[in-house]
Amino acid sequence: MTTHYNPQPGATLKNGRYVVLRKLGEGTTATTWLVYDSSLVKHQGIEYLAAKILTVEATAEPNGPSRERGFLQTIKVHGDKHPMEEGLDYAPVLFDSFDEGAQLCLIMALYSTSVSALRHSAPNKCLPVYMVRSVVHMTLHALVSLHDLKIIHADVKAENILFTGARFSDTSKLEKYLDDYPSQLEGRPQPLPHDFAYNSSAFQAELITVALVDYSHAQSSDGVLSGTTCCPPALRPPEVLLSSGFGPAVDIWAVGCLTFELLVGQCLFHPEDGGDGYTLEDDLLAQMQDLTGQRFSADVLSRAKNGAKYFDAQGNLLRRRIPKHTPLSIEQKIRDHNIAGLAEEDIKESAEFIQACLQLDDRRRFTAEELLKYSFAKKAWLCD
């Protein structure tokens, strides 16, 4: 049984300092609440903050989501020393942390809904290329800073990229919104809105800012690594499937998958479990080779603990979906979706960028800093 924090509005945290106003969101291991800081000495003068409160079970697991506090503290210490570092503008800000009974509480800046929610609001479930460029550009900057700090996010996806923006930076505007839209007593999440729609113009989209959040799966690249909980199955990089290594490159693979998903409105990979014929992992590895036009090298398979589980001595897959699906390049797959407003140049640049993210050999995969030099990312915030 999962034990979530479930207060009534008006409840307080940390001996009365933070007043709970409403639920902003909920997940498997935590709920997030809008709180008012009643202290006379506030964090950077901010009155309204977000409280992420882990379940009792997640708090008690030493190698689980509770490790998020340590990563956020590392980011904060570095940010205090280097306030002008761009990547930290797109990472969460931790103001306070404490145990509330048997549950860990993290006090952070307020964010709005996710990029995933915006994508799903669109009729075709995809976003304009200028918006995708901006989101990916900011995510890459966040990863540059994280990887420099030896932090692997390990769960980069649209659901974990939240809009920040300045809509409620004016306290009076937030308070008016709270008056106009009172808290729901039944406890359903009421996330704060932002000013953008799936069809916002390129000019409007220049104001978008996002943050890469949720470090409950994060790991330290200079510590003991475990990829067992890394990413949803369809986003899982080959090195995790093959147990051939685990490092910052897992985040880069996820960026490639993210870029395709936001542009096209579908996941890049759709692995299926064929029962006795082939496994979900077999199908995913086959799709990886077909889409990228690459094969797993002898070097990769030699360091893969699970290599013999999926490949023969010649590097051929032991099992494949029958009949074989027709291989399509990433560029052709984007083109076949006939996305409105996606010019030929956009197709080529996005495919080139995604291909760079999806090197099957994680040691040859580009870094976040290198990817920022690609045309696809460099054109962020340039009005079409």
**Residue ranges for the binding site for ATP?**
52
Alpha carbon distance, N-terminus to C-terminus of the chain: 51
Contact call for residues 51 and 7 (beta carbons, < 8 A): no
CA distance 331 to 231: 24
**Angle at Cα 125 formed by Cα 198 and Cα 269, nearest 5°?**
135
Nearest to 362 by CA among 152, 212, 197, 196: 152
CA nearest 274: which of 217, 317, 230?
Answer: 317
**18 three-state secondary structure:** strand
CA separation for the pair 116, 25 (Å, rounded): 14
254: left (phi over 0), alpha (psi -120 to 50) or beta: alpha
Known binding-site residue numbers: 52
Asked, as a colleague might, if the bond just before 323 is cis with ω within 30 of 0, I would say yes
Residues 6 or more apart in contact with residue 360 via CB below 8 angstroms: 238, 288, 289, 292, 294, 295, 296, 297, 300
No. of helices (H) and no. of strands (E), the chain: 15, 10
Asked if 190 and 24 count as a contact pair (C-beta separation under 8 A), the reply is: yes
SS3 6: coil
Whole-Å CA distances, 279 to 230, 241, 285, 360: 19, 12, 10, 19
If one counts every other C-beta atom within 10 angstroms of the C-beta of residue 295, the result is 15
What six digits make up the tokens of 172? Answer: 């009076």
Distance, CA of 11 to chain centre:
31
Instruction: Give the Cβ contact number of residue 366 at 10 Å.
Output: 20
Phi-psi region of 101 (alpha: psi -120 to 50; beta: other; left: phi over 0): left
Longest dimension (CA), the chain: 69
